[in-house]
Amino acid sequence: MKSPAISQAMDILRLLRQITETDAPVSEKLDQIIAMVAKQMEADAAACYVMVDDNYLELFASFGFNRDANHKISLRLGEGLVGDVAKHNRSLAVTDVWKHPAFSYKPEMGEEAYKSFVGVPLIRWGRAIGVITLQNKENVEYSASQIEILETVAMVLSELVASDDMNEFKNELIKERGQTGKEKYKGVALSKGYGIGVAVVHRRRQAVTKIFAEDKEKELRKLEVAHTQMNHDLDEKFNSTKLGIGEHVDILDAYRMFAKDKGWYKKIADNVSSGLTAEAAVERAYEDMWNRLSGTNDTYMKERLHDLRDVADRLLGYLSGDKTDVSTLDAKDLIVVAQTMGPADLMDYDYNKIRGLIIEDGTPTMHVAIVAKALGIPVVSKIKGIYNEIKTGELIAVDGNDGYVYIRPSEPIQQKIRAKISEKEKLQAKLAELKDLPAETKDGTRINLYLNVGLAFDLDYIETTNCDGIGLYRTEIPFMASETMPDVERQINYYRELMDRAGDKKVIFRSLDVGSDKLLPYWGSVGEDNPAIGWRSIRITLDRRAILRKQVCAFLRAAAGKELNVMFPMISNLAEFEEAKETLSLELEKEKRRGSPIPKKVNVGLMIEVPSVVFQLEAILKQADFISVGTNDLAQFVFACDRGNPRLSERYDVLSAPFLKLMHEIVSQANKAKVLCSVCGEMASNPIEALALIGLGYRNLSMSGSAFGKVKSMVRSTNLDDIEDYVKIMLKSNRRTLRPQLISYAYDHGIEIY
Ligand code: PEP
Ligand code: MG
C-alpha cells in the first residue's frame, strides 16, 4: 500500500498535469494551481511569487488573501520570509511568522490571521525564479514529506514560470505599466554580461511591397544615392575588418567588385526605367540572374549567387533607410539583433563595437552563441517578436545575466546597466590578477587550463591568460570566414600564425568540422532533413578525402620541427578513427619522401562526441594519444536533443546523473589507459559545470578565453577531495537536474563561481 504522503503527492501531480495541459491563459493556470495546492495540502492560504527583475519578487497568484493584492505586492530579494527563500534558494518552514525576525508584514495582503508559513523556491538553472508559499491559521509544524511535496509542485511550477507563455504574459504586464510604452522584455540569457548601445538589425530581408514607380526620375536618383552610399560604406568596412586567423582582405575584394559591377547596376537601372520602383528593380535583377545561374553546374557561378543575394539585401536596406550595415552607423557601441544567425554572420560586424546580441531563436550551444561568449558579449534569446520590434538605430540595453532586453531604456535603467558594466569590469580586473598564479586546487592539485580558439581575437587570450596551451583550434572558423576554399598555402599561413603566437605551448588542431550549423559560403547546403546527424564533420572529410589530405598536409608543414597534435571530430567508431589516422600517416610519409622538414613528434587524438565511441573506448584508447570530450555535441546525442532548438534548450541538463555518469566513465577509462583526456565543450567554460568535471576526475579543461579567469578562480577556491566525494553522491541522484545542489554546495564551501 502506498503511504498517505505518496498518494497525496500523486493526486497533486495528476491535478497539476490536468491544469497545465489545458488551453487556459498562463495566469489562470497559476491561479488554479495555487488554489488546488492549498486545498490538497490543507493550507488556509497559498501564494506564488514570481521574480520580475533581478531584485524583485511580485505576487502573481494567491488563495486566501485579499484577491486584489495580486500584482500589487512586491518584495525585494532577501526581504521578508519570501525574499529570504528566494535569496538563499532554500525551503523554509516557520511555525509562528510573527516571532520570526525576517517576517515583513504587508497589510494590503490581509495576512493577519495566519501564523505558520512554508515557502519553497522555484528554481531554474540554479537560480530562484519565484517562490510558492502555504500558510495556516494554526501554528502548524510542516513535515519533511509535506515540504518535499511542495518542492515537487515547485518543480512543475518553475517550468510554467519559465515558459514562453509566461514571458509573454510578463511582457504584457511590463507594457501595461511602462511609462514609455514597451521598454522591458524578458527572454533567456545565453551569455552573461551587460551592454548598452545602438541597435543594428541583422540583415532583415526586405519584403518589396511597392512594385510600380510613380516618378521614374526620382526612383533613379534614389537608386543612385543608395548604391553610391553602399559602396562607400563597403570600402570602409573591408579596409578595416579583422576576420579569422590569417584571413586576407583580398578574399573580400570579390564581394566588393560584385557590389560595384556595372552590368548589375545597369540591369537594375533599366528595370527602373521600365517603370518599377528601385526596390522591385533590385529584386527583379536578382531573379533574372538566379534564373540564369541556378541551373548551371559551374560551382564558381553558383557561389556568386550567394554574394548577389547578400549585396541585393544590402542595397534594399539602403533603399528603405533601414541600413543593416554597421559602418553606416557612427555609434561605437552596437547591439546586434537577429532572428537567427550563423557564427560567420557575426563577423559582419566590428566585434570591438558589439556590446550585446539578441537572437530571437537562440540556444546556448548554437555556434554563434559560443562565438559571442568567447568574445565576452552578452546574449539574450527567446523573446517572441523582438526581431521585428527593434529598429536599427534605437538605443537598447541588454542584461545577459537575467535575460532582459530594454528598448529605449529610461535614464534610471541606463544608469543601472552602466553600473553593472563597471562592476563587471572590476571583476575582470580582479580575475586578471590571477594570471600568474597557478591553476591549482586548495589541496594542491594542478588542473591544466587550455583555450578554445578560432577567431583572430582569440589569439590575444594566449598572452592575457597565461594558459597551458590551445586545447581546441576550430580550424573551420577561418574556412567559414573565407569566400573561397583556402588552399594548402593559405592554410599553412593560418596554422603557422597560431603556432607562432602559442610559442612553446601545446596546440591541438581539430580537422575541419563543418556541416550542421557551420556552413561554408562556397559549399551550398546539401539540404538534409537532420543536418546535426547528417553528412558533417569527419564524415565529409573522409568522403572528400582530398580536403582532409590537404588539411593534414598543411598541419604537417606548419608544425615542421615542432610537436603536432591533430584531433578528429565526430568520430563514431574505431574504423573511422583508423581511416583518419591512416590519411595523416600517408601524408607524413609523403613529406618524408619529399625530404621536407617534418614535425618533431605527431600525436593523434579524437573528440568524444558521438555516444557509440564510448562503447568502444577501450580499443580506441589503445590507438589514441589523447581524447577530448566535446560535450556540446555529446549532450545533444545523448539526450536526443538538437543543440540548436530553442524549445529544448532548457529541458535537459548536463548536470544530471545520466550525463555525469557518462563523463565519469570516459575519464575513468582514459586514466586507466593513461591517455590524456580533456573536455573542450562548453561545460569546461562554465565554472559550476567545470567544478563537476574536476570532481569527476578531469584534470584538463579547454575553454573560451572569456571564461578563463572565472574557471581558474573556481579551481583555486575548491578543495578537490571534498568535491570528489560530493560528486560521487550526486551520481546516485535521480533528480532531473543537480545544478541547484551543486550551486548550494559551492556557496556553502566558499567556491567562487562568478
Ligand atoms: C563540442 O561539440 O562540444 C565541440 C567542442 O565542438 P563544436 O562546439 O565546435 O561542435
Ligand atoms: Mg562538436
DSSP sequence for 407-455: ES--HHHHHHHHHHHHHHHHHHHHHHTTTTS--B-TTS-B-EEEEEE-B
Looking at the DSSP assignment, which residues form a beta bridge with residue 446? 440
The rounded Å distance from CA 477 to ligand 1 centre is 12
- Cα(162) to centroid of ligand 2, in Å? 28
| In the predicted structure, residue 701 carries a pLDDT above the cut 80 | yes
Q: What is the pLDDT of residues 572-589, one digit of tens each?
A: 999 999 999 999 999 999
Q: What is the pLDDT of residue 256?
A: 65
Crossing angle of the two packed helices 249-260 and 216-240, in degrees rounded to 10: 170
Closest ligand 1 atom to the C-alpha of 682? 3
Ligand 1 atom, smallest distance to 630 CA: 3
Q: What is the pLDDT of residue 488?
A: 95
Query: How much is the pLDDT for 124?
Result: 73
Ligand 1 geometric centre to CA of 283 (Å): 38
Q: How far is the CA of 559 from the centre of ligand 1 (A)?
A: 24
Q: What Å distances lie between residue 549 and 343, 554, 582, CA to CA?
A: 26, 9, 10
Give per-residue pLDDT as tens, 650-689.
Answer: 789 999 999 999 999 999 999 999 999 999 999 999 999 9
In angstroms, rounded to a whole number, what is the distance separating the alpha carbons of residues 523 and 516?
A: 12
- Please report which ligand is nearest the Cα atom of 371: 1
What separation in Å is there between the alpha carbon of 568 and the centre of ligand 2? 10
508 alpha carbon, closest ligand = 1
4-23 confidence digits (pLDDT tens)? 666 777 788 888 888 988 88
Q: Which residues surround ligand 2, an ion (CB under 5 A)?
A: 630, 633
pLDDT band for position 384 (cuts 50, 70, 90):
confident
**Predicted local confidence at residue 674, as pLDDT:** 98
Which residue is it, cell 537536474? 737
Give the per-residue pLDDT at 569: 98
The pLDDT-based confidence of 305 (bands split at 50, 70, 90) is: low
Confidence at 554, pLDDT banded by 50, 70, 90: very high
Q: Which helix (H) or strand (E) holds 190?
A: strand 188-191
pLDDT band at 722 (very low <50, low <70, confident <90, very high): very high
pLDDT higher at 470 or 237: 470
| 386 contact partners, CB below 8 Å, separation of at least 6 | 185, 187, 337, 358, 360, 405
Over the stretch 454-510, which tens digit does the pLDDT of each residue have?
Answer: 877 788 899 999 999 999 999 998 887 676 789 999 999 999 999 999 999 999 999
Which residue among 363, 513, 683 has the greatest number of ligand 1 atoms within 8 angstroms of its CB, and so is best to mutate?
Answer: 513
Neighbours of 267 (CB within 10 A): 17
List 679's β-bridge partners, or say none. 629, 701
- In degrees and rounded to multiples of 5, residue 469 shows phi and psi of 150, -170
Nearest atom in ligand 1 to 370's CA: 8
Kindly report which listed range (44-48, 204-208, 325-329, 682-686) carries the lowest average pLDDT score: 325-329
Dump pLDDT digits (tens) for 79-116: 899 999 988 888 899 999 988 888 888 878 888 889 99
Place 204 in a pLDDT band, splitting at 50, 70 and 90: low
Query: How far is residue 481's CA from residue 242's CA, in Å, rounded to a whole number?
Result: 10
Nearest CA residue ID for atom 6, ligand 1: 630
What is residue 134's predicted lDDT score, i.e. its pLDDT? Answer: 96
Distance (Å) from CA 608 to ligand 1 centroid: 10
pLDDT for res 347: 67
**Ligand 1 pocket by Cβ (under 6 Å):** 472, 474, 513, 609, 630-633, 680-681
Ligand number with the minimum distance to the CA of 631: 1
**Which mutation among 607, 627, 628 tests ligand 1's pocket best, with the greatest number of atoms within 8 A of CB?**
607
pLDDT in tens, 117-172: 999 998 876 678 899 999 999 999 998 888 888 887 888 788 888 887 888 888 78
Q: Which of 102-106, 292-296, 639-643, 682-686 has the lowest mean pLDDT?
A: 292-296
Within its chain, how far is the Cα of 697 from the centroid?
26
Please tell me the distance between residue 638's alpha carbon and the centre of ligand 2 in angstroms.
13
Band (pLDDT 50/70/90 cuts) for residue 344 is low
Q: Is 252 left (phi over 0), alpha (psi -120 to 50) or beta?
A: alpha
User: What pLDDT does 235 receive?
Assistant: 74
Average pLDDT (500-526) is: 86
How does pLDDT run across 265-274, given as a tens digit for each residue? 988 998 888 8
Q: Strand 563-568 and strand 506-510: pairing?
A: parallel
- Residue 631 CA: nearest ligand 1 atom is 3
Residue 296 confidence class, pLDDT cut points 50, 70, 90? low
